[in-house]
Amino acid sequence: MANEEKKLQTGVGAGEVSPEQREIEELNLTIKSMADSIEGMEERLKGQYGTDLTAAQEEIDEKHNKLEARLTAAIEKNSQPKGASTEPDDYAGYGEDGMPDFLADVVASSRTGTRPAERLVNLQKRQLEVRRLDTLSGSDGGWLMPEKWNLNIMRLPDTGDYLKRLCRMIPAGSPPNAEIKMLSLDQTGSKGIHGGVAVYSAKEAADVTVTSTPKMKFVSLKPEKIGAYWQVTDELRANAEAMAGVMGSLVQGAIAAFEDDKIQTGTGAGEYLGFDGCDAEISVSRATSNEINYVDLVNMLARILTRGNYVWLCQRVGILPQLMTMTNGAGQLIWSDNARDGIPAPRLAGVPIFFNEISPALGSAGDLRLVNLDYYLIKPGMGAAIKSDNTYGNFLSGIETLKVTYYSDGKPWLTSPLTLRDGTNTVSPFVSLAA
């Protein structure tokens, strides 16, 4: 006992013993000292407390229990691996960059009679907990991914322009698949562009008998299920890194192109409601069939809601020749005055041009549009889940089918064109050229 006390006092082994270990040793010494002091304690206690030793025993037990509790806590703390965290592991052992291993486990889980990897099951449980979901299992809805992996798949590709970049994004919220209703001013009839709000000067106030109140409408968004699938060979499946790389680029591009199409042409029946033909769209008559002329541009610009950012929307093949050969009333080219400088910057009347593959051919309704997508809402839902299918037919052909599902909804914010103060003329963030 004396040697151990001397060791602590002289600091033998200093720098080699951790603070936690030193705390344990000190507690052990305290307990041993208590044991040594018990000898002859009975006579001392009788002298202090008399013949009734109950109070003394209770005091001893209380001190002993406290020391035991401190010792247990110190031992548990010291036995925890260095650097270990008590926070839940969002990646269930895969690690932040473990998506290739995750995909390999997802593919393996589709084998008949094969139990999913334990870390795959733990990741699913963790994601259900994080997303506050009590539905969907690995066999029913696919395997949910951590937020970082989900964002990598759902984000827009770095190359190329997509309409989704210009839209107004609504946070997913919790629960993410719940319907959300966005307030919108009712500008129909004579309510005007500000929905019936009346503003007047102090001098006019004496003549005001009834104040107008804003008329409100609701635009609801309910994320719907969207799926994307692709097939991989045995060779690609065996290379998890390559499979993850292929999925990242191909799936991102396919989803982005699909959503761009639905932002324009969606029917609203279980999918996005596109601005093509929506109730808020204004169609401007074309001056000459199968042509786009300067007067068409002027008439479209006159009907656009000018607040915010807007773009021309058209395909390149049929429309670019029209734009580059367009002339004004004096017969002068208005976009390029020579062939030396090549294709001009993609702007027309100061407005950017967004060339895309979805717009109709020249001469069709909507072959040229002027839109402000600040007035188009997109509400994402639950993040992506991935599932693997290795049916008997796929097994024989050496092909595996992978499927990604996610939820999203989108539609125009306005439900009608906006009536100006004159009570007659209208403007809109969605203006198209008629056939």
SS3 sequence of 3-64: HHHHHHHHCCCCCCCCHHHHHHHHHHHHHHHHHHHHCCHHHHHHHHHCCCCHHHHHHHHHHH
Phi-psi sector, 270: left (phi>0), alpha (psi -120 to 50), beta:
left
Residue 365: φ, ψ to 5°: -60, 130
Q: Which residues of 387-410 are buried (b: 16+ CB within 10 A; e: fewer)?
A: bbebeeeeeeeebbbbebbbbbbb
Q: Mean pLDDT, to the nearest integer, of 33-54?
A: 63
47 CB neighbour count, 10 Å cutoff: 8
Q: Which residues contact 72 (CB under 8 A, 6 or more apart)?
A: none
Residue 337: φ, ψ to 5°: -95, 5
Domains in the chain, number: 2
Contacts of 136-139 spanning 24+ positions with Cβ under 8 A: 136/385, 138/109
Q: Looking at the predicted structure, is the pLDDT value of residue 315 above 90?
A: yes
Last residue of a domain, one of 35, 63, 79: 79
Last residue of a domain, one of 53, 79, 105: 79
In-domain check, residue 297: yes
In-domain check, residue 334: yes
In-domain check, residue 328: yes
In-domain check, residue 37: yes
Q: How far apart are CA 376 and CA 192, in angstroms?
A: 21
Provide the 3-class DSSP secondary structure of residue 427: strand
Q: Mean pLDDT, to the nearest integer, of 355-372?
A: 95
Q: How far apart are CA 409 and CA 405, in angstroms?
A: 14
Res 395: pLDDT? 59
pLDDT in tens, 122-144: 888 888 777 665 444 444 468 88
Q: Looking at the predicted structure, is the pLDDT value of residue 211 above 50?
A: no
Res 7: pLDDT? 46
DSSP-assigned beta bridge partners for residue 388? 402
Residue 416: φ, ψ to 5°: -165, 160
In-domain check, residue 319: yes
Would you give the end-to-end CA distance of the chain in angstroms?
Answer: 101
**Which among 92-101, 233-242, 291-300 has the top mean pLDDT?**
291-300
Res 80: pLDDT? 54
Q: Looking at the predicted structure, is the pLDDT value of residue 273 above 90?
A: yes
Q: Which residues contact 47 (CB under 8 A, 6 or more apart)?
A: none
Which two structure tokens, joined as six digits, stand for 250? 């191909």
In-domain check, residue 117: no
Of 324-328, 419-423, 426-430, the poorest mean pLDDT is in 419-423
Q: Note down the domain range covering 426.
A: 282-377+415-433
Provide the 3-class DSSP secondary structure of residue 103: helix
In-domain check, residue 40: yes
In-domain check, residue 196: no
pLDDT confidence band for 229 (50 / 70 / 90): confident
Last residue of a domain, one of 49, 79, 109: 79
Q: Over pLDDT 90: what percentage of the chain?
A: 27
